[in-house]
Structure 1
Amino acid sequence: MKRVDLPEATYHYHIKQMKKQDPNQEWETLILKTFEKHKGRYGYRRIHAELKAQGH
């Protein structure tokens, strides 16, 4: 068995972080919907402009 040199505190910190809810989930959903709406042809600049035009 291989051993990873990782401090125990770091291990527990990352386990705790993985259990938290993603604060960007709403944004990720909006961005993905906009991307799919335009059939993958919009890049980040156009997606940003569209979301801004929608008042986000």
Structure 2
Amino acid sequence: MTRAEQVIERAMAAVAASRAIREAEAERRREIFQKIQVASQRKPNIPKGIQLPLDLH
């Protein structure tokens, strides 16, 4: 294997590693954004002065 082929192989390995990291980060951001969306969904509107039943059994 020539020097040029070794350099190309290392460069391709670096590109593949970088891509894997970028895709993992994108997936992590997507999961976090989903959690944020669920948390920020509108809360149910309960009028004041109404007592809700609480089953303690």
TM-score under structure 2 normalisation? Answer: 0.30
TM-score under structure 1 normalisation? Answer: 0.31
- From the CA coordinates, give the structure whose radius of gyration is larger: 2
